[in-house]
Amino acid sequence: MSKNRIIIVGGGLAGLTAAIHLAQKGQKITLFEKDSFPHHKVCGEYLSREVKPYLDDLGVPLNELQPKIIDKLLYSTPSGRSVNVDLPLGAFGVSRYALDNLFYETAKANGVEVIQEKVLEIKYLKDHFKVITSEEEYLAEFVLGSFGKRSLLDKNLERKFFKEPAPWMAVKSHYRLKDFPDDLVALHNFKGGYCGLSRTENGDINMCYLATYESFKQHKDPEKFNEKVLRKNKFLDNFLAEASPVFEQPLTIAQISFSKKEAVEDHVLMLGDAAGLIHPLCGNGMAIAIHSAKIASEEILGHIETANSREEMELAYRQRWEKTFSGRFSTAGWLQKILLREKLAEVSQALISGFPFLLPKIIKQTHGEPIE
């Protein structure tokens, strides 16, 4: 049985960021990821520029990917009413295929041990953890959980949200279209959901939408859903009529829940979507994942340096997580309630059209200041 000080479960942006941060501070890190790099993931592929100073500090060479610089938003309701605004902070348009691989290579360059094994169970045993994978068992002093929106590990940890309804699903595909602006993210409402469009570093346009499973199951597959539902929005109709798909088949994930999660579960510090899933319409999930990894890394390092208790360290992480992100999640929650009620969406659109300065202010509530 291998003994490790820090194990990270999951090789998404949150897990890889924590691995890089902790390794640079002299910690020996073992990270488990069940899939090989690189690979595509269902994601809006919109990275808020708030994370850039922190990534520069970590030495993650984001500029090498030449991401698109996004600073404009087009928003439309199902009826086709639309508004264009400048984004307060802006974002990078970059695929998870490229971005995760960049973080992976940076982690390896910093001495992180990445093991491609599926973690089956995490057990806390008084003052250490046993991590059981498909191949072996490992011991660790600390475990960080970065295993995404919903995992069997959540069930094994008996997390409350896992027992609650998970009525959402998401679909992602890439398209080619010359006449889509590089600097634009478009958010289009349709009955039962909303769809984001933005260009990535290689010129492809990422289309990712969230829909209720109830609305999706009536049509059974993404192609029919596109035709029967998405194309009722005139902007999505025009896009799908002109764009050419890149993927042979869209990527899909089901059983998505926005129920509240705990930032610490059975002494495991949760990161990114494992700690809380923000509504995709806010376009800030990747930045929150990266920022949560920074906070967790700093609290673990502080615990090692000061020898405060594990309970004190966990409480400090919970409090910082709540202080940093709870307001964004609250704003995202009421935004989703408005946008998914057709009449409210139209009323809010009329208000924003008359007072367009309101929309950037609302967006700012779901984003943070640049992370130093």
CATH number of residue 335's parent domain: 3.50.50.60
What was the pLDDT predicted at 37? 93
| The pLDDT of residue 110 is above 70 | yes
In a domain? residue 137: yes
Residue 208 near residue 170 (C-beta atoms within 8 A): yes
Instruction: Determine the pLDDT at residue 356.
Output: 62
The total number of structural domains in the chain stands at 1
Is 371 part of a structural domain of the chain? no
Domain that holds residue 87: 2-364
Q: Is residue 298 part of a domain?
A: yes
d(CA 57, CA 54): 5
Q: Judge contact between 44 and 196, C-beta under 8 A.
A: yes
Instruction: Give domain status of residue 369, yes or no.
Output: no
Question: Of 124, 109, 99, whose CA–CA distance to 40 is shortest?
Answer: 99
pTM exceeding 0.75? yes
d(CA 360, CA 209): 22
For residue 358, is it within any domain? yes
Q: Could you count the other beta carbons within 10 Å of the beta carbon of residue 26?
A: 9
Residue 113: inside a domain:
yes
pLDDT number for residue 215:
84
One DSSP character per residue, 59-92 reads: T--GGGG--EEEEEEEEE-TT--EEEEEEEEEEE
Q: What is the pLDDT of residue 39?
A: 93
pLDDT digits (tens, 9 = 90+) for 128-166: 999 999 899 999 999 999 999 999 999 999 999 998 888
Given CA atoms 100, 101, 107, 113 in this order, what sign does their dihedral have? positive
Higher pLDDT pick, 118 / 194: 118
Does 372 map to a domain? no
Residues facing residue 124 across a β-bridge: 129
Question: What ranges make up the beta strands (E) of the chain?
Answer: 2-9, 29-32, 46-48, 68-76, 82-93, 113-115, 119-125, 128-133, 137-145, 168-176, 184-190, 193-199, 205-212, 244-245, 251-256, 264-265, 268-270
Binned at pLDDT 50, 70 and 90, residue 87 comes out as: confident
- Identify whether 71 is part of a domain: yes
Length of the chain counted residue by residue: 372
**DSSP 8-state assignment for residue 275:** T
